[in-house]
A and B are shown apart, each in its own frame.
Chain A
Amino acid sequence: MKPSPFTYHRPGTTEAAVGLLTELGTDAKVLAGGQSLVPLLNMRLAAPPHLVDINQLQELNYVRATGTSPDGAGPAVVVGAAARHADVERDPAAHQALPLLRRALRHVAHPTIRNRGTTVGSIVHADPAGEMTAVLALLDGSVELRSANGSRRVGAADFFVGPLESAAEPGELAVSATFPVPPGQTGTAWLEVARRHGDYAVCGVGALVTVDADHRVVGARAAYISVDTTPVVLDLLDAVGTGPADTADWSAAGRLAASTLRPDADIHATAEYRRHLAAVLTGRALTAAALDARGRGVNHHTGETEETA
């Protein structure tokens, strides 16, 4: 058989799962979709003595677009730990509230992988090429971690510690991820370059542009994958300026990103090529996000958004 032996646990409740994880500590790994963990087990790059299967936990199988996020802030999309990428991608209310989720998810591997892989699992896996890590970081989202000792919420800025390393400690279960809906009239875009669609990105960029009622730029941010050990978020407003969105120099933001990022070389691309991609994709993604912002009107009180584009 491919993997080494392990003891299999299928707790019936989140409480039981958390209890098991706390009891087993570093000996246990959480088994959700398995699309990253099982290849590691098959290749015997990992051999945890215990696997705790959370796939049966229906109470964690949800995608919710809410007016008030669990941390008390504004509207958000909250994804439970047992929800598949495909569930998030197809959820109409989540798409209405945060179209960036579906836009980025279309780049996560292939539909067959998305049918099993979970969004929260990919965030906890913290792959530097994982699209949803950067989406969480770009939106300044958070992850709720639960252990037998209680619950804590970790913001994206603190959650991604290193390559394949998150702030989730042994004994903790990531029960949900919260993606806040950005305030104001905000558009988003996701662009990436990969050798083949669905492969790990050589460079990927998520962009977020906020405009005022006169369609002048008031916010411009981008998040990057595959250029560092963790997702990188850059505020690019200074490079773009606060002029009209239609005539904004988005390529200036690209130049700033290229001069700020410090990608490594690997067998897929040189560092210089990655910087080049970051510059070009930043310009294109911000342009697309600004166009998207034009098509979106926002009700600041309810956070209800409407996509007309």
Chain B
Amino acid sequence: MTDIPADEPLHEVTVVVNGVPRAAAVPARRLLSDFLRHDLGLTGTHVGCEHGVCGACTVLVDGRPIRSCLQFAVMHDGAQVTTVEGCSSGDGGLGPVQQAFRDCHGLQCGFCTPGFVTTITAYLDENPQPSEDEAREAIAGNLCRCTGYQNIVASVLRAAELRGSTGEVAQ
């Protein structure tokens, strides 16, 4: 990025993203979301509101979903991060949650989708067989302005089916 004042100190930050160690020297105020997108070039993580409301930037840190726009990269030096790019299947094809979104028309413009995919991936790890109500509750912290959520709820249930049939779990 070109917006760093010359005299602003940099911190060397190393994170293991989707199983691959990645490092960059960034200012302390670099948000984890911007670190992933700007410094590491992983633009799958989307930033919507940038103050923790919309959920588009959700990534998994040490397996738990968090808002990457509400964290500084420097706080997560040494952490394991999973982004939407890491939610694919082992052979690089669509992972079960991604396949479910495709099957159920769970996205329209797709801007919010990375946050849904990461959130649902972590949720199904803990709750492999949610009811429809639980599926709706699981996505309550993520905003989508296109779908009206019906097809996203269907996608959660479909993803649970797909995971059950293949025995696949998140990385």
Render A231-273 as a binary contact track against B, CB cut-off 8 A, 1 for contact: 0000000000000000000000000000000000000000000
Note all chain A residues with C-beta closer than 8 A to B8.
5
Render A161-174 as a binary contact track against B, CB cut-off 8 A, 1 for contact: 00000000000000
In the complex with contacts A39-B52, A42-B50, A112-B141, A6-B29 CB distance below 8 A: yes
Q: Does B64 lie within 8 Å of A1, measured CB to CB?
A: no
A100 to B29 CA separation, bound complex (whole angstroms):
37
A22 to B161 CA separation, bound complex (whole angstroms):
55
With most chain B CB atoms within 10 A of its CB, the pick from A41, A43, A55, A112 is A112
Q: Does A39 lie within 8 Å of B141, measured CB to CB?
A: no
A128 to B51 CA separation, bound complex (whole angstroms):
20
B30 at the interface (CB under 8 A from A): yes
A125 at the interface (CB under 8 A from B): no
In the complex with contacts A1-B27, A31-B75, A86-B64, A110-B50 CB distance below 8 A: no
B69 at the interface (CB under 8 A from A): yes
B121 at the interface (CB under 8 A from A): no
Note all chain B residues with C-beta closer than 8 A to A35.
52, 67, 70
A85 to B86 CA separation, bound complex (whole angstroms):
26
Q: How many residues of B contact A (CB 8 A)?
A: 33
From residue 178 to 209 of chain A, which have CB atoms closer than 8 A to chain B?
Answer: 196-198
Note all chain A residues with C-beta closer than 8 A to B69.
38, 42
A96 to B84 CA separation, bound complex (whole angstroms):
37
In the complex with contacts A34-B70, A38-B52, A111-B30 CB distance below 8 A: no
CB distance from A96 to the nearest CB of B (A): 21
Q: Does A2 lie within 8 Å of B75, measured CB to CB?
A: no
Note all chain B residues with C-beta closer than 8 A to A3.
29, 31
Total A-B contacts with CB atoms under 8 angstroms apart = 88
In the complex with contacts A1-B29, A51-B28, A197-B140, A115-B66 CB distance below 8 A: yes
CB distance from A45 to the nearest CB of B (A): 10
In the complex with contacts A8-B28, A112-B65, A112-B66, A2-B140 CB distance below 8 A: no
CB distance from B120 to the nearest CB of A (A): 11
From residue 101 to 142 of chain A, which have CB atoms closer than 8 A to chain B?
Answer: 109-113, 115-116
For B119, give its contact among A41, A43, A112 (CB under 8 Å): A112
Note all chain B residues with C-beta closer than 8 A to A2.
29, 31, 34, 50
Q: Which single residue of chain A is at the shortest CB-CB distance from B33?
A: A2
From residue 38 to 89 of chain B, which have CB atoms closer than 8 A to chain A?
Answer: 50-52, 55, 58, 64-67, 69-72, 74-75
B93 at the interface (CB under 8 A from A): no
B91 at the interface (CB under 8 A from A): no
With most chain A CB atoms within 10 A of its CB, the pick from B4, B5, B58, B64 is B64
Note all chain B residues with C-beta closer than 8 A to A308.
none
For A110, give its contact among B29, B31, B71, B141 (CB under 8 Å): B141
A53 at the interface (CB under 8 A from B): yes
CB distance from A83 to the nearest CB of B (A): 14
From residue 24 to 52 of chain A, which have CB atoms closer than 8 A to chain B?
Answer: 31, 34-35, 38-39, 41-43, 51
**Which residues of A are interface residues toward B (Cβ below 8 A)?**
1-8, 10, 31, 34-35, 38-39, 41-43, 51, 53, 55, 86, 109-113, 115-116, 196-198
**Which residues of B are interface residues toward A (Cβ below 8 A)?**
1, 3-5, 8-9, 11, 27-31, 34, 50-52, 55, 58, 64-67, 69-72, 74-75, 119, 137-138, 140-141
